[in-house]
Each structure stands twice: as structure tokens, then as C-alpha cells.
Amino acid sequence: MASDLLQTLLTNLWVFFLVVLLFGGSIFVHELGHFLAARRRGAHVERFSIGFGPPIFSWRGQDGVEYRVSWFPLGGYVLLPQLADLGPIEGENRTDVSKLPPVGYATKMIVFVAGATFNVLFAFVLACIVWVIGQPVSTGFTSTTIAEIAPTIKDASGKDVVSPAVKAGLKPGDVIVMVDGEPVATFADIVEELALSSGWTKQGERQTLFTIRRGNGVIEVPVQPILSGDENVRKVGFSTVATLLVAYVAPKSPAEKAGFRIDDQITAVAGTAILTRPQLSEVLKNAQGKTVDVTVVRGGAQRTLSFELAKDVDLGLAIKPNVAIVHPTPGAQIKDCLIKTFRTLWALVNPRSDIGFSHLSGPIGIIDNFFAVSRAGLPLALWFTILVNVNLAVFNLLPIPVLDGGQMLFATIGRLRGRPLPVNFVMTAQSVFLVLLFSMVLYVSVFDVRRKVRDVRADRAAEAAQQQQQAQPAPQPAPSPSK
């Protein structure tokens, strides 16, 4: 008991350390980019803050800069009075700007873009680590071959309806090549393309175009997805092929006698293609008492192993977890995150899309996701941090007042008109967009809380069901008949 408690404590401490390091580090490197660029270009730096609001603690360095950690960890800032006046967010500065030399347009652009640049560089460094150590993914997510078609799925109201996959005539073995003209390489790609799809029929029904390879031909199949699941996104109702690899062969077991080896990939039983774990279990169950042929792939070559599966005798075979380790290149990881970010932004402004601001995550959701992926292991935590940093880079460069891109827009307009924009106009625009930005953060945070409450309730229900099952008395054997 004490060892379990210590193990849990150490695990939680490790997870907390990862969240602080990766989430806090993402904010830190962004502001560090502004800070180093400003110092390099000779701009005056008044303050370097992680978080907003009153300081938890602060100190003034020998360089005259106030360094602080503030109470609201929604980001951070570097106070640069020569470049931008963001008093409502960053607080008033104590420096008389009139006594400071003006900074040029190039300096402003370099300093403002430096934050996003450092986020991308940080993401690239983490992507190199993931490239080396590998990233775990479900084997079902590495395939686009349909394994099973769900006869029904639940719609947005929770009612069971005929699945769009059945209506569209999709079949097990179909290989999905493209969704709405976009190539897909994994099941995750299919899910993403489907969720971001914005196609509609003339009759006003949602429609997504699947390009599939069936046999030797390639055909296009229009599918009419429905909104389903907790997040109400487009779904069709099918699963993809999983890779079934042998993890263990028991000594002197039927499996060992038949010639099974670790890392054999099971592809068929008795001539029936095996695409999922449930299919394998069902076929082996039905084959008890019979001699069956199992097709496996070993070292790139196909083999057939025969054995008799006696009733009530353990086969002595264990299948590896549905996880594969992939090593995507840093460039591929950054590119994938950029594509996800821009496509999500487009879906938000596309009136034909089903994606809205309620599907986004605010600070609460991001931190909660950091905890979740950190518990799942370092590789997933690094992958999520890469995605967050690319998101931060793109979001901060949007031409919105208060953000870096907005300051770059103001500087560019001032450069084109030959004089800076009026201070009152800039302050008004920043105040308006500041209110809008924080309103959006509060709005998405409401949905973050709802998701968290929903997940907690689901976990408690599952835990209660497990405890109830364990508490049930074991069935007693029937009494022997009297002689």
C-alpha cells in the first residue's frame, strides 16, 4: 500500500513537472524571442513577465529590467514602451517614452515577429526529440483500410440511427484514399478531414466525398455524415484495420507447437481476413475443436501455421497492445501542425463548416490536455507541446490588435502613411479587441469546464461499475445430485 502511494505521488509530481516545464516553457520562449530581439536591436525593455496581472514575485536585474511571474498564467509579455503601449494588459511603465529615441520600422517588425519565430524553433527542437525517441500511435490509426462497418451510430440527440457508412455502401476492405479531394494516410487524417468537411447537398444535407480503392478500381462515394458524439462533429461509422502482432508465446502451448513466434503478424484465420482484435477472438472461439490454418507475415514473407484448437485449452498466445511507434521527421511534424492550425482557422470562419468556437480549447482546456498527455508519457506530451507552439505562433501573427500581428499591422500602416497612427485610435482599437479576446477566452472556457465535468462523471461511472462488479459474489457451484 505504501509503495503504491509513493508510486502515485511520484507519478503526479512528474506529470506536474512536465506540465510546468512544457506549458510554461512555451510561454517563456515566446517572450524570450521578443526580449532578445529587443535587446539586440537596442530597444528599451521595461519588464519581462510570465503571466498577467499582479506579480507573485519579481526582481529587478542588473540590466534594469523587472522580471516577474504573475498570477494569471494566460500568457506573458515583454513591456516595450518604444514599440507599443499596452497599458491595459501589461500595466503602466515608469519610463518617460519622450526621452527615449524612436525605433525604426524594421526593428518593430523584427521584435514583434521574434516571439512566433522562437515558438517555431522550440517546436522544431521538440520535434527532433520525438523523431529520435518515437511517437506511440494506435495501430488502427495508421491504416485507412476499413475493417468493420457500424450498423448504427448515435446522432446528436443520442438516438440510434442507421450509420452513414451503411447508407453509402462502404465495405470492409475498402481503402480510403482521399476525403473531399485531400489525400489521407491514417485514420486520424480521415477523422480530421471529416470533422472539418463543409460539403452539403442541394437538398441541405451534409455531404463528404470519399475516394476509395476497392479491388483494382478507384471510385468516388458521396457519404452523408451526421453530427455525433459529445462534440457534435461529423461521423460516418466505421473502424479501420489494426496490426495484430504476437507479443508472447507460452512454452509447450498449442501456439508454440504450431510454430508461432513473437512479432508474427496475424492476417487471416481459416482463409478469413482478420482486421481487428474482436474478429480474431470471434474466429478462434468458433474454431474450437477444429484444425485451423492461420496466415502470418514473418520477416516480410507469408506463412501458414496449422494447429488443432482443443476446447477449453488456452492457445498460449498474446497479442501486442494496439500501439505502434512511428518516427516522423521534424519537418513533417511542423508541417502537419501548421496544416491543422490553418484548416481549423478556416473552418471557424467558413459558414458551411460545423466547427465553431465551442470546439476550441481555452487556457483551462489546454492545461487539462497537458496533464492528460503528460500522464500518457513523454512522447505524447512533446507532440502536444509542438502543436501548442505552432498554434501560438500562428495565432499571435494574426492581424488583430493586442496580438503581435496587430502591432505589425499598425506599424505597417504607419509606415505607408508616413506617420504613426493616432494614439487614441490605437488605444481604442486595442481596448475593444482586448474585451473581445477575453470574452472569447471566457466563452471557450465554459465548454472546457463542461468537457472536464463530463469526463469526470464518465470516469466515476466507470469506476462505480467496476467496483459493483467486483463486489458481486462469485457464483456458487451447483450441488451434486444425490446418489
Q: What angle do CA 366, 345, 325 make, to 5 degrees?
A: 55
Q: What is the pLDDT of residue 312?
A: 66
- Which has the closest alpha carbon to 117: 40, 208, 42? 40
What is the pTM (predicted TM-score) of this model?
Answer: 0.79
Cell 497492445 locates to: 321
Domain boundaries, the chain: 11-134+378-459, 246-321
DSSP of 340-367, one letter per residue?
A: HHHHHHHHHH-TT-S--GGGS--HHHHH
Q: What is the pLDDT of residue 475?
A: 46
DSSP 8-state code for residue 474: P
How many other C-beta atoms lie within 10 A of the C-beta of residue 350? 13
Burial class, 228, CB count within 10 angstroms (exposed 0-12 / middle 13-18 / buried 19+): buried
The answer as to CATH 3.40.50.720 being correct for domain 246-321 is no
Task: Note whether 381 and 373 are within 8 A (CB).
Answer: yes
Q: What is the pLDDT of residue 454?
A: 85
How many angstroms separate the CA atoms of 398 and 120, rounded?
A: 15
pLDDT digit string (tens) for the chain, length 483 residues: 566 677 778 777 888 888 888 888 898 899 999 999 999 998 888 888 888 778 888 888 888 888 988 887 667 888 888 776 555 555 555 666 667 788 889 999 999 999 999 999 999 999 999 999 998 887 767 788 898 899 999 888 888 899 999 999 999 889 999 999 999 988 888 999 999 999 999 888 999 999 999 888 899 999 999 998 888 899 999 988 878 888 888 888 888 888 888 888 888 888 878 877 787 888 877 777 778 888 888 887 888 888 777 776 677 888 887 677 889 999 999 999 999 999 999 998 898 898 888 888 888 888 888 888 888 888 989 999 999 999 999 999 999 988 899 999 999 999 999 888 887 888 888 888 888 988 988 898 888 888 888 888 877 877 777 677 666 554 444 444 443
Q: What is the pLDDT of residue 89?
A: 52
